[in-house]
Structure formats: structure tokens, C-alpha cells
Amino acid sequence: LAKTTQPISMDSYEGQEVNITCSHNNIATNDYITWYQQFPSQGPRFIIQGYKTKVTNEVASLFIPADRKSSTLSLPRVSLSDTAVYYCLVGDLLNAGNNRKLIWGLGTSLAVNP
């Protein structure tokens, strides 16, 4: 099973770009990488998902190298409201029976300072 490792915490300032890396050395061929954001007293919220190379949406980019053993969530020009915990999730999302094998990271607590 894939195991995911993320930094426990990060600090940044408003307007900076923040990159959070997740390590998943044992990622399997069918595994996707998904990132979530969680605010206190709320459920995690989907940010972005990818399989390889680069994916970009309106809020973030996801960089996945060719070996897929890590991934980097990039948040451009963060604001105070981006202060949250960010989770990396690795697993095969295409096969319902594999849902039990999805591996969550323990989360990276990002603090954005004025």
C-alpha cells in the first residue's frame, strides 16, 4: 500500500507562492493523487486531482514527476483565507472495491501571515 508523507506545518506570507510536497514512494499504477483543504470544524474540500505531469485549475496547480513518487501542490499568491490544513490522498479511485486502500496523509498545517 502507498504511504503518504507530508510536512506537518508550513508558514508563508500573503502574496507568496506556497508549494506543499507529498511523498508517496509506493504509489501503484492505478493510483491517483488528490489534494484537499480543511478549515476548522469543517469537512475537507476537494482542491485538485491528477495522475501524472501537471494539472492546473482556478485555485491551484499539481505537479507530478515522471516517477510519480511525490507530488507538489502549488498555491499561487496565498491570502490569509488560505490558512488551513492541506491533505494529500493517494489511491485507486476508479475501482470501488479499492476505496478501502486509499491512503490519507496526516496533513500540512499552512499558516499565512500578513
Partner 1 sequence: DVKVTQSSRYLVKRTGEKVFLECVQDMDHENMFWYRQDPGLGLRLIYFSYDVKMKEKGDIPEGYSVSREKKERFSLILESASTNQTSMYLCASSLQQGANGYTFGSGTRLTVV
> For partner 1, which stretch binds (CB under 8 A), given 14-22, 41-49, 62-70, 75-83?
41-49
Work out how close the CB of 16 gets to partner 1 at its nearest, in angstroms, rounded to a whole number.
26
| Per CB under 8 A, 46 contacts partner 1 | yes
Sheet containing strand 18-23, edge to edge, reads 18-23, 70-75, 61-64, 53-56
Q: What is the DSSP string of 6-59?
A: --SEEEEETT--EEEEEE-TT--TT-EEEEEEE-TTS--EEEEEESSEEEE-SS
Instruction: Name the one range near partner 1 by CB under 8 A: 15-23, 31-39, 64-72, 74-82.
Output: 31-39
Does 114 bind partner 1 (CB under 8 A)? Our answer is no
Binding-site member from 58, 67, 94, 114 for partner 1 (CB under 8 A): 94
User: What is the C-alpha R_g of the chain?
Assistant: 14
Q: Is 104 in the site for partner 1 (CB under 8 A)?
A: yes
